[in-house]
Amino acid sequence: MIQAVIFDIDNTLYDYDAAHAVAFQALTEYAQHTLGVDPETFEALHQRANQLLQARTGGDCAAIHNRLLRYQILLEELGQPILHAPVMERLYWNTLIDAAVPSPGALVCLEQLRQAGLRLGVGTDMTADWQYAKLERLNLLPLLDFVVTSEEVTQEKPGARFFQLCREKAGCPASACVFVGDNRSKDVEGAKRAGMRPVWYRPHSGPDAPLLVDGVLEVRRLDSLSDYLLSLLGANHEKEDVS
């Protein structure tokens, strides 16, 4: 019996790749006009800063997503004043959040599942501050009962501790939790190892209708997921009534 549904945020509840492209373009233009760095050089410096941040933090923690640290390292490598770091961080995230829109059917999905009495949560890598800002922008925060970030757990997905905290906050057995995400290794395999019911969100290449493949439900739209889960709940209720 399903009691809780937990969602990844980036590239699940909204299209991170599209919003990131807009934000990174704004950042690139800032670097060119303010720092005198051409786009090709800036992209290489950005990759270098990512690598250094990964090495310094150990990789398996939310700090690897911290844009302030990332841009601080970039500016230090470039020999530019670090006073630009907070400006660049705000520019990136504010532009990304302004560009973010809910994935097709996301709002309907959460509303329907909440009305059905299911507990709803988020399980996401990243720092809590900007993930909350995204959820506010998407108007999804009022529909959620709990949030788990890799910052709180001090471990990225697909770590066991991450999914354990998701289960604890859901307040039900792992087998009663559905975990929805776009990343096969982080979301799907992590949820499977934790004993949860994984759902692979594949908006660009999945089947038109929800399809169960080797124990993994694949969906292209989130409202089709809520329809599917509600049909399962309805079937379970009918069985209970008959018995």
**Which positions are catalytic?**
8, 10
Alpha-carbon gap, residue 131 to 125, rounded angstroms: 9
Please spell the DSSP secondary structure of 96-110, one letter per residue.
Answer: HHHH--BPTTHHHHH
User: For tokens 């507990």, what's the residue?
Assistant: 119
Asked if residue 195 lies in contact with residue 166, where contact means CB atoms within 8 angstroms, the answer is: no
Tokens of 52: 């250094």
Exposure string (b/e) for 148-171, b if CB count within 10 Å is 16 or more? Answer: bbbbebebbbbbeebbebbbebbe
Rg (CA), the chain: 20
CB of 49 closer than 8 Å to CB of 89: no
Give the ranges where the chain is alpha helix by DSSP (H): 16-30, 39-57, 67-78, 84-99, 106-115, 128-137, 150-153, 160-170, 190-193, 222-242
Distance separating alpha carbons of residues 209 and 84, to the nearest angstrom: 47
